Structure 1
Amino acid sequence: MFERFTKDARDVVRGAVERCEGAGARTVGTEHLLLALLDREGSRASFALAALGLAERRDAVREALDETRRRAGLSRAESDALAGLGIDVSEIVSRIEEVHGAGAMSDGSPSGGAAGGGAKGAGRRTGRPAFGRGAKRILEQSLRMALSHHDRRIGDEHILLALTVHPGPAAEVLADHGVTHASLTRVLYGGGEAQAG
């Protein structure tokens, strides 16, 4: 499938691996893909993010992803659902961090292995981190996105579109910052204000 990726899309995948390694994580998660997309300049995805006003709010997105990591990868919706059952995720995180230190629930990877598909209890790895279930789904979905828009190659914009439709923390953070599948499609493929070239 990677032979169908544009240079920009391959750069996003490489950037996600680098983000993962830099964080000391064992698996590449959807958050790593989003962080790699935020690092891009001069691509269709970076144009779309700028057109939607996210270029100025990249730090806010990174902070929101950090907060998700602190909650062991639980989205706000999942935390709210647990609250409905009488489970206060913030309180649990606080108590665990008192004993084990800040970020203890992240297990060294965004999403604590949950949304990122990390392997719990896996020993130390040598070499490159593997792609988690969520990240693999995003890459597979990016192919579907390209095909649905009759694009012959998979670009970084297709990875971004896939992130908006895959439920989880990355999609939630994007939506909280005004980046939805509908708004991206409008910017990338027309039907409104701007169109990425």
Structure 2
Amino acid sequence: MFERFSKEAREIVIRPQDEARALGHEWIGTEHLLLAVLRHPQQPGAATLTRLGVTPASCRAAVAGVVSGAGDDLGAQDAEALRAFGIDLEEVRRRAEESFGQGALDDPASTGDTGARGPAGRHREGARALSRHLPFAARAKKALKDALREALARKDRRIGVEHVVLGLSRSDDNISLGVFTRLGVDPESLRQRVLSDLREAAA
């Protein structure tokens, strides 16, 4: 399948390694594919995201917020209510990380930390991750397969950035949906806009 990818789309398959490592993740998910897409803002699909106001910085912040569980299920009002009772969530997080290491309160399942607990364990896991290729999560593999399906459905001879974006718009896992929600982008609306842009370009 890889030989059918355009030069830019091939980079989108390769570059998520860098995006994942920069965020300290040990896997490649749809969120990292989306960040790699934004490295090509002039390409179809990526240009649509750019017009919707999505930038690499806003996407990176959205990914960090969803994957780290920043804010968890508590909104600003909940945090304020707890503060009234003398409970400061940020202070609790700060003290926990001071005692047990960065990300001590993060969910291991969402951070990809399946190794030893504690700062030393996380350091060993991080060092190991840097020395090997990171695995693609099932949701990322599905998005790439969906990109192929999109190209076949359109009878396109090669898979481009636009097909990857269309594939990502079909993702229905919690992380993908959470990132799109934080970005203020409705996946189905994104899909329709990309298709509309492609029709206009072909006219």
* TM-score over 0.5 (shorter chain): yes
Q: Answer with 168-177 or 29-38: which moved more.
A: 168-177
Give yes or no for contact 2:27–2:137 (8 Å, CA) kept in 1.
yes
Corresponding residue number in structure 2 for 1:61: 59
Equivalent residue in structure 1 for 2:148, among 132, 139, 143: 143
Corresponding residue number in structure 2 for 1:132: 137
**Offset of residue 3 of structure 1:** 1.0
Taking a change above 3 Å as real, the CA distance of residues 4 and 61 of structure 1, as seen in their structure-2 partners, is same
Give yes or no for contact 1:164–1:174 (8 Å, CA) kept in 2.
no
Taking a change above 3 Å as real, the CA distance of residues 66 and 29 of structure 1, as seen in their structure-2 partners, is same
Amino acid at match of 1:121: G
Give yes or no for contact 2:46–2:165 (8 Å, CA) kept in 1.
no
For residues 16 and 26 of structure 1, the distance between their equivalents in structure 2, rounded to whole angstroms, comes to: 11
Give yes or no for contact 1:48–1:187 (8 Å, CA) kept in 2.
yes
User: Is the partner of 1:44 in helix, strand or coil?
Assistant: coil
Counting aligned pairs with the same residue, the percent is 35
Corresponding residue number in structure 2 for 1:87: none
Please give the per-residue CA displacement for 1:19-64, whole angstroms capped at 9, x wherever unaligned.
1233343221222112112222321122111232324xx4333222
Give yes or no for contact 2:169–2:188 (8 Å, CA) kept in 1.
no
Amino acid at match of 2:59: V
Give yes or no for contact 1:164–1:171 (8 Å, CA) kept in 2.
no
With structure 2 as the length reference, what TM-score do the two structures score? Answer: 0.67
**Offset of residue 160 of structure 1:** 1.7
Equivalent residue in structure 1 for 2:160, among 155, 163, 176: 155
User: Is the partner of 2:15 in helix, strand or coil?
Assistant: helix
Q: Any residues of structure 2 matched to 1:80-159 within 5 Å, and which?
A: 94=93, 97=97, 99-104=99-104, 105=106, 111-113=110-112, 120-121=114-115, 124-125=128-129, 126-159=131-164
**Offset of residue 9 of structure 1:** 1.0
Corresponding residue number in structure 2 for 1:172: 178
**Offset of residue 139 of structure 1:** 1.2
User: Is the partner of 1:28 in helix, strand or coil?
Assistant: coil
Give yes or no for contact 1:142–1:154 (8 Å, CA) kept in 2.
yes
Give yes or no for contact 2:16–2:33 (8 Å, CA) kept in 1.
yes
Please give the per-residue CA displacement for 1:50-95, whole angstroms capped at 9, x wherever unaligned.
232324xx433322211112229xxx8xx59xxxxxxxxxx7x948
Amino acid at match of 2:34: L
Contiguous gaps of at least 5 residues in structure 2: 75-88, 117-124
Corresponding residue number in structure 2 for 1:84: none
Contiguous gaps of at least 5 residues in structure 1: 81-90
Give yes or no for contact 2:166–2:194 (8 Å, CA) kept in 1.
no
Larger Rg belongs to: 2
